[in-house]
Amino acid sequence: MGLSASFGKIMKSARFTLNLELLRYLGPGFLVTVGFIDPGNWATNIAAGSEFNYSLLWVITLSTLMLIFLQHMSAHLGIVTGKCLAESCRQWFPSWANYIIGGSIMLACVATALAEFLGAAIGITIISGIPLGYSGVIAGAVILALVTVQKYDQIEHIIISLVSIIGFCYLLELYIVKPHWGTALRASVVPSIDSSKILIAMGMLGAVVMPHNIYLHSEVIQKRNYRAENEERKRQLLRYEFMDTLFAMGAGWLINCAMVVVAA
């Protein structure tokens, strides 16, 4: 009995240590998640819910599954090779292809960042009443400071806090509006589309599966303690990354669905 009890304590301690270590690796996925809780998502999700009720919820589910797969592959690349996606492209593709890939992703990043930048400026104006021009300067200064410092671990903590606040606010809103959960659940897994919904559905898909996030994930991995000394450690890190990606993308899926439901 004594030996059995001691073994049980050791196993419980090991699981506790494993859980603590997993918590250390949570974060990179949330930097991706906040990328699909941006002004583009708010606009398309609110339009979808207010115009088509719950019928386009399945687009959020499908696009989130696509995102999990793509981000998981991107992060895997960063862990296994020790290089981000851009570095791998430069290594394995010819120069002419890299010019095309680099140019297209740069344009995509600029277009996407513009939405976040304008959203930040409008948000500052709404909260403080400062004219939009000045809010744009403030937003630009904050963004440049964060990009220059590149303290990903600190940014991750801020992002997790902000995503948690958004999620809590939507829980309150869902409690207030009291949606029809059965209809919403069915609509989230059963496709329904016609010509009038195509543009909004494409916008919702494009607002979730975003090219800059795919590049970002493999880069953020390099800033974390994702160093694998052997194959077993590498497999362990891959599991941690998958849990981080799954948890973060799942939170994003819930929040995006809540946007549609509340708007409906």
What are 174-203's pLDDT values in tens digits? 999 999 999 999 999 999 888 889 999 999
What is the reported pLDDT for 69? 92
User: Which has the minimum average pLDDT: 116-120, 126-130, 242-246?
Assistant: 116-120
What is the reported pLDDT for 46? 93
Separation of alpha carbons 204 and 182, rounded Å: 22
**Average pLDDT score, the chain:** 82
With beta carbons less than 8 A apart as the criterion, state whether 216 and 147 touch: no
With beta carbons less than 8 A apart as the criterion, state whether 43 and 204 touch: no
What is the reported pLDDT for 65? 93
What is the reported pLDDT for 199? 92
Cα angle, residue 163 at apex, residues 212 and 38 outer, rounded to 5°: 40
Mean pLDDT of 117-133: 89
Separation of alpha carbons 174 and 159, rounded Å: 22
Q: Tell me the C-alpha to C-alpha distance, in Å, between residue 250 and each of 55, 163, 175, 216, 233.
A: 20, 12, 20, 18, 25
* Rounded (10°) angle between helices 95-128 and 39-52: 70
pTM flag (> 0.85): no
Q: What is the pLDDT of residues 145-173, one digit of tens each?
A: 877 876 766 777 777 788 888 889 999 99
Who has greater pLDDT, 37 or 122?
122
Mean pLDDT of 66-88: 87
With beta carbons less than 8 A apart as the criterion, state whether 33 and 163 touch: yes
Who has greater pLDDT, 55 or 19?
55
User: What is the phi-psi region of residue 191: left when phi exceeds 0, alpha when psi lies from -120 to 50, beta otherwise?
Assistant: beta
Alpha helices in the chain (DSSP H): 2-25, 28-33, 39-52, 57-81, 85-92, 95-128, 132-149, 152-177, 181-187, 198-208, 211-223, 231-263
